[in-house]
């Protein structure tokens, strides 16, 4: 809804420029902006648990951005072999940190503990060499002025180094913290989101990176958007040896990050320095280590990987029914139908419009779609309408759940008009929220929730009151225009902090179009500190509510996310535009969120506004069909853009989504991997090919898992695509006989007429697939096929794959429940002998479901001739007519194999039970 509820296009594009509250340009760090002389280390000691604890004393006080905190506590701990923590805070007073109950982690020694045993500390000036012999990370320091470095033990690489004459030494004030690190000039950095990066996902020197959750449309470039993820991945290639590591600054306060190619500087307006370093050394290792700290990604239900359709502007239930029917008529798969706030009564959460969405008819509709396996999701915004006859508001007031300003619930305006914002840091609020969701679910059996506007978004700024003598909103003008009586808040240092964030150089006040930063949460916590975790705290409360309903696995889509949000929610990238540029940007943003530990991510297919062209929508569904989260969503003011609106788009959708639905078991297995190791579902190519530097800056291709590469058309008028193929053999998924052999890595020009998207499968892979369907419930009960890929012409090859299956309604996704099966697939070829086999864990679930393997196709086989001596589980099968054998010759689109004739061998009608170990063997005749 305007973006799902954001500013309209013209306002959104010039959002920061139109405000009358413009501030001075944020100062990029340089020697002329020197702030003091830093700190000196005056005491240091190894604590009983192996932690290094020190005291830092300011060297020379100054009042730039406020007075210095005179004494700091340094806390350094090797938390695992691959994770090092460096925590710096006020030695005498407790400071704001991301709440430990929201993001569970080890707590550093308290200020009181410091005082109790600080007398025994020894004074040192020499560097500490290492904290642990088993660690890959080595911490060192310089005493005066204090700086620290983190190095990699295995190769001596410096990963972080805060010592330099080119930037400020450590600065630590109440409302301004600054620290920098030197960087080699040839590193590749990724992360620091959320923003729309025009250069792609790789961080670009001098581009601004501001982290502060803001309701600014995603069509705005280089601007702080809905989420805040102060983490980056550093990828280096030294002597053809790739090394990746990660750096997290766990701080929820607003910050600017300046990347200048050879250094990175953080400027933060509060909190503490709480750095976590992750040793890698592979990109997958980094995400594994990162999500082991912040929380593993949430398990998604199987149906969530189907296709979703939404629009702001489904004015009544008959329109929704018509959409579902038209998808069926067009034979385009559809799993989930969504309502933006059209279903609500006066835009109020947890209500139904009695005229346009009558309760009894809605229940009949849900019974109908639920019976075929389809699902229904609706939106809720955090703002609760101020309305004395509205039960949700009444119960909220009775339980005192709202954020306060000057002792009263903070008044804002969103779609219903005047609203109060729930304070999800308050345990009473969480209980109230859980109960409201329960009540609504009893009214409408929804299958998931969409939490939007949770940056939090406010159509007004400052301190507001409901105007007397006029209706607000009037119902005649745009709903996003502030109609409350408001005045600016400039009297506090929280609403007017000394340092003005926004690295792009144009600043609005920090409380602009959101909750005033001097507003107060539970236990006296200021919005100033907690602002960027608002959506995160709502996600946790919403997840708790849905998990308690019928014991089912929750599905929640959240616009605002923070470090750890992936443990609870999926994310979409907000209000994009129906342009070719936005199509390209969507790929980079999706890949970034995989690094952030939020693998279930996608963008509004065809764009949220304004109208996409027919050609663009064709190409967008060919990309969006392979987003982890695949949803078409459009603006109230845009023309209808459901995929059946154009016959050409419907054809592209049938093609691309048809393949997606065949790949559902693969996507769901990637979901299982993500839940266990954090591994992104959609990945940059460098995740699988970290030694191949040509893919470090590749932004228009991506992998699903480790082996399936999507190379879409993202430019207008193109019927070919120039795609990069890392070294190895690649097979076209839409035509398995089409082969590309990329010896050292090559760009290859592929044909891509309007309805074609190029998807290729890498060598050494076993890909489980099914036969597809119009809804995932049906698709997942069809027979399986296995696609086995060897390097073209290999006489000695190995391939592997895996498959996870479970009862996806259960909250937990794990083996050992009795409702899941895990299978490792293996294949070898050696001198013409081919073997494909499985190793099954917990096979009963798959056996009870009756799943079977119907087809096995083995690609890239060398030698001429026919198959001999086919055996299944040791029994010869050549005389059994039910097994259909076929051979096809591969065609080389690029490159050459090692043999004159490379074959694909297919075995069909195998009827092998999926839940039992099997072995299929044969020999290729001469």
Residues with catalytic roles = 452, 455, 575
Task: Take residue 339 and report the two structure tokens written for it.
Answer: 């309502």
User: Within 10 A of 286 (CB to CB), how many other CB atoms are there?
Assistant: 26
Distance, CA of 76 to CA of 131 (rounded, Å)? 9
Element (H, E) at 284: helix 283-294
Whose CA is closest to 698, among 235, 179, 35? Answer: 235
User: Within 10 A of 311 (CB to CB), how many other CB atoms are there?
Assistant: 25
N-terminal to C-terminal alpha carbon distance within the chain: 64
Tell me the residue ranges of DSSP E strands in 484-611. Answer: 485-487, 556-558, 570-572, 601-602, 604-605
Distance, CA of 537 to CA of 455 (rounded, Å)? 11
Which distant-in-sequence residues (6+ apart) come within 8 Å of 176 by Cβ?
64, 65, 66, 267, 268, 269, 497, 498, 499
Integer-rounded Cα radius of gyration of the chain: 28
Tell me the residue ranges of DSSP E strands in 452-561. Answer: 463-465, 485-487, 556-558
The answer to whether residues 688 and 653 touch, using CB atoms and an 8 Å cutoff, is: no
Distance, CA of 585 to CA of 489 (rounded, Å)? 36
Task: List, in sequence order, the alpha helices (H) in 791-894.
Answer: 844-849
In terms of phi and psi (left: phi > 0; alpha: psi -120 to 50; beta: otherwise), the region of 400 is left
Distance, CA of 88 to CA of 107 (rounded, Å)? 13
Task: Take residue 594 and report the two structure tokens written for it.
Answer: 């995989």
The answer to whether residues 128 and 81 touch, using CB atoms and an 8 Å cutoff, is: no
Which distant-in-sequence residues (6+ apart) come within 8 Å of 717 by Cβ?
615
Distance, CA of 873 to CA of 6 (rounded, Å)? 60
676-695 b/e (C-beta count within 10 Å ≥ 16 → b): bbbbbbbbbbbbbbbebbeb
Residue with tokens 């190894």: 46
The answer to whether residues 780 and 664 touch, using CB atoms and an 8 Å cutoff, is: yes
Distance, CA of 923 to CA of 833 (rounded, Å)? 5
| CA distance to 467, 565, 661, per residue, from 291 (Å) | 48, 11, 28
Distance, CA of 742 to CA of 894 (rounded, Å)? 7
| CA distance to 57, 66, 69, 570, 727, per residue, from 92 (Å) | 12, 18, 9, 40, 57
């Amino acid at each position: 809804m305007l973006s799902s509820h954001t500013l309209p296009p013209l306002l959104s594009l010039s959002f920061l420029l139109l405000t009358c509250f413009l501030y001075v340009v944020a100062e990029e760090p340089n020697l002329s902006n020197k702030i003091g002389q830093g700190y000196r280390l005056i005491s240091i000691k190894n604590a009983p648990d192996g932690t290094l604890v020190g005291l830092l004393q300011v060297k020379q006080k100054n009042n730039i951005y406020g007075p210095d905190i005179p004494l700091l506590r340094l806390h350094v701990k090797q938390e695992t072999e691959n994770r090092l923590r460096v925590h710096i805070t006020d030695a005498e007073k407790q400071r704001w940190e991301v709440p430990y109950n929201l993001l569970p982690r080890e707590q550093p020694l308290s200020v009181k503990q410091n005082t109790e045993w600080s007398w025994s500390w020894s004074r040192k000036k020499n560097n500490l060499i290492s904290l642990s012999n088993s660690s890959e990370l080595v911490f060192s320091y310089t005493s005066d002025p204090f700086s620290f470095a983190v190095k990699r033990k295995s190769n001596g690489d410096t990963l972080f180094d805060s010592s330099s004459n080119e930037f400020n030494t450590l600065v630590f004030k109440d409302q301004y913290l600054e620290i920098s690190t030197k960087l080699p000039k040839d590193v590749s950095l990724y992360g620091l989101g959320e923003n729309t990066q025009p250069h792609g996902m790789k961080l670009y020197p001098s581009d601004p990176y501001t982290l502060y959750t803001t309701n600014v449309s995603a069509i705005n470039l280089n601007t702080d958007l809905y989420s805040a993820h102060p983490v980056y991945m550093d990828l280096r290639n030294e002597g053809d040896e790739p090394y990746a590591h990660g750096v997290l600054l766990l701080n929820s306060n607003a910050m600017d990050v300046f990347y200048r190619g050879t250094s990175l500087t953080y400027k933060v307006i509060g909190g503490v320095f709480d750095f976590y370093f992750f040793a890698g050394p592979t990109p997958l290792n980094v995400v594994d280590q990162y999500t082991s700290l912040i929380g593993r990604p949430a398990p998604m239900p199987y149906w969530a990987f189907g296709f979703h359709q939404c629009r702001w502007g489904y004015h009544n239930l008959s329109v929704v029914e018509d959409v579902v029917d038209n998808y069926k008529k067009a034979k385009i798969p559809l799993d989930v139908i969504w309502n933006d706030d059209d279903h609500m009564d006066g835009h109020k959460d947890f209500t139904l419009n009695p005229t346009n969405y009558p309760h009894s008819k809605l229940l009949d509709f849900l019974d109908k779609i639920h019976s075929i396996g389809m699902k229904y999701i609706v939106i809720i915004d955090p703002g609760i309408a101020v309305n004395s006859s509205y039960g949700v508001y009444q119960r909220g007031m009775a339980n005192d759940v709202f954020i306060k300003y000057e002792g009263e619930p903070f008044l804002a305006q969103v779609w219903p008009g005047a609203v109060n914002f729930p304070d999800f840091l308050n345990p009473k609020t969480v209980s109230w929220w859980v109960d409201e969701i329960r009540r609504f679910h009893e009214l409408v059996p929804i299958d998931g929730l969409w939490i939007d506007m949770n940056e939090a978004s406010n159509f007004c700024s400052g301190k507001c009151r409901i105007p007397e003598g006029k209706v607000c909103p009037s119902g005649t003008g745009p709903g996003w225009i502030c109609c409350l009586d408001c005045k600016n808040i400039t009297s506090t240092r929280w609403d007017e902090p000394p340092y003005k964030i926004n690295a792009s150089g144009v600043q609005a006040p920090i409380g602009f179009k959101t909750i005033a930063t001097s507003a107060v949460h539970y236990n006296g916590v200021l919005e100033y500190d907690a602002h960027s975790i608002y959506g995160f705290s709502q996600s946790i409360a919403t997840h708790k509510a849905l998990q308690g309903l019928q014991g089912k696995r929750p599905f929640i889509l959240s616009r605002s996310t923070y470090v750890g949000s992936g443990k609870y929610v999926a994310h979409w990238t907000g209000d994009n535009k129906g342009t070719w540029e936005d199509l390209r940007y969507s790929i980079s943003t999706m890949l970034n969120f995989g690094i952030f530990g939020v693998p279930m991510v996608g963008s509004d297919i065809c764009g949220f506004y304004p109208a996409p062209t027919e050609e663009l929508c064709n190409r967008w569904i060919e990309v969006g069909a392979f987003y982890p989260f695949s949803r078409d969503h459009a603006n109230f003011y845009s023309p209808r853009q459901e995929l059946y609106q154009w016959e050409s788009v419907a054809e592209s959708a049938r093609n691309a989504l048809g393949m997606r639905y065949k790949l559902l078991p693969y996507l769901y297995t990637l979901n299982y991997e993500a839940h266990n190791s954090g591994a992104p579902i959609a990945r940059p190519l460098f995740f699988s090919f970290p030694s191949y530097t040509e893919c470090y800056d590749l932004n228009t291709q991506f992998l699903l898992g480790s082996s399936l590469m999507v190379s879409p058309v993202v430019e207008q008028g193109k019927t070919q695509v120039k795609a990069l193929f890392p070294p190895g053999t690649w097979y076209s998924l839409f035509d398995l006989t089409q082969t590309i052999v990329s010896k050292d890595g090559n760009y290859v020009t592929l044909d891509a007429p309007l309805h074609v998207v190029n998807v290729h499968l890498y060598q050494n892979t076993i890909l489980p697939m099914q036969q597809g369907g119009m809804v995932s419930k049906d698709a997942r009960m069809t027979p399986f096929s296995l696609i086995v890929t060897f390097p073209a012409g290999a006489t000695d090859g190995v391939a592997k794959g895996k498959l996870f299956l479970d009862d996806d309604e259960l909250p937990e996704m794990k083996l050992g429940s009795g409702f899941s099966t895990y299978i490792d697939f293996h294949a070898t070829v050696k001198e013409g002998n081919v073997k494909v086999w499985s190793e099954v864990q917990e096979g009963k679930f798959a056996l009870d479901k009756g799943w079977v393997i119907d087809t096995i196709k083995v690609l890239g086989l060398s030698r001429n001739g026919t198959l001999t001596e086919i055996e299944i589980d040791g029994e010869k099968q050549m005389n059994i007519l039910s097994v259909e054998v076929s051979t096809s010759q591969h065609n080389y689109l690029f490159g050459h194999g090692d043999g004159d004739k490379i074959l694909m061998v297919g075995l069909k009608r195998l009827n092998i039970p999926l839940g039992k170990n099997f072995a299929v063997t044969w020999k290729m005749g001469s």
